[in-house]
Amino acid sequence: MNKGARVDIARQVAVILGAIFQIAVPIFTGPAVGRVSGENPTLVVPTDYAFVIWTPIFLLALIYAVYQALPSNRESQLLRKIGWFSALAYFSNGIWEIVFPAREFVLSQIVFVGISTGAVVAFVLLQRGAGSGSRFDRWLVAPAFGLLAGWVTAAFFIGLVTVLVATGVLSGGIGEAIFGALMLIVGGAVACAVILAGRNGPVQGYLAYGGAVLWALGGVVANQYQNSLIPSFTSIVCALLVVAILFIALRRSGVRGGAGQPSSPRVA
């Protein structure tokens, strides 16, 4: 076996172990994440039901892990590009599920950098390469990373507010509301930039990404509209902006004539 084959196998194994790891940790820790989060409520945390998005994220991650591990996919250039980044996101997520319930809040946010970096980079690379990939790449892998990257984009900035509340830097009131709104604006801007970066890829991918971001923003509105109008109104504005960017991306996709497939040059 040559060195390239060994590296490919190591990558495939790392993705499988990472996908299993992030799913297994909550089984053993139970509702610890939700309990600790509930002890540190903020004015931007989404409603509880918004977190059910982890069910399809975990399921798609597991299916993707099995798919990329097939011998026939070992030398896939697309899966090679995103493999180590997806493993980074999965392992970081599992570690976060350990350190956050342990109330290591600053460390948990540092670990979240690994989750968001791995997920977003994998998503953008996928969007830029999946047009030439298989139908399975477009209909499974693209939505898998779209959901994960979209959710963690929102969660990173919302989680930063939680960390500052838990460490006593923020303590409610107008200051927390304004800072939370600012984080929502930054998160919304990042989300729009990521959608635009992946707009030439499969529609399935950037729609899943945008849908996850909108789901998070809707969860904030549902949970906070009675507590503070500032983050609620900001969430609505950010959601409208994301919808507008998605519409622009869809129109461009319609002009190109397919889900990540370039159309034939137009004749003047």
If one counts every other C-beta atom within 10 angstroms of the C-beta of residue 195, the result is 24
pLDDT computed for residue 259 by the predictor: 44
pLDDT computed for residue 258 by the predictor: 45
Distance CA(101)–CA(261), nearest Å, equals 44
DSSP class of 137: I
Distance CA(107)–CA(117), nearest Å, equals 16
Residues with Cβ within 8 Å of 144's Cβ and at least 6 positions away in sequence, in order, are: 57, 60, 61, 63, 64, 208
pLDDT by 10s per residue, the chain, length 268:
687 789 999 999 999 999 999 999 999 888 889 899 999 999 999 999 999 999 999 999 999 999 999 999 999 999 999 999 999 999 999 999 999 999 999 999 999 999 999 999 999 999 988 665 678 888 999 999 999 999 999 999 999 999 999 999 998 889 999 999 999 999 999 999 999 999 999 999 999 999 999 999 999 999 999 999 999 999 999 999 999 999 999 987 765 544 444 443 333 2
pLDDT computed for residue 131 by the predictor: 61
Helix (H, G, I), strand (E, B) or coil at 257: coil
- How does pLDDT run across 103-145, given as a tens digit for each residue? 999 999 999 999 999 999 999 999 988 665 678 888 999 999 9
Q: Within 13 Å and on the Cβ side, how many CA atoms surround 206?
A: 33
| Nearest residue to 136 via CA among 70, 81, 215 | 70
pLDDT computed for residue 133 by the predictor: 64
- 14, 16, 155, 172, 175 from 226: Cα distances, Å: 44, 43, 21, 14, 17
End-to-end CA distance of the chain: 53
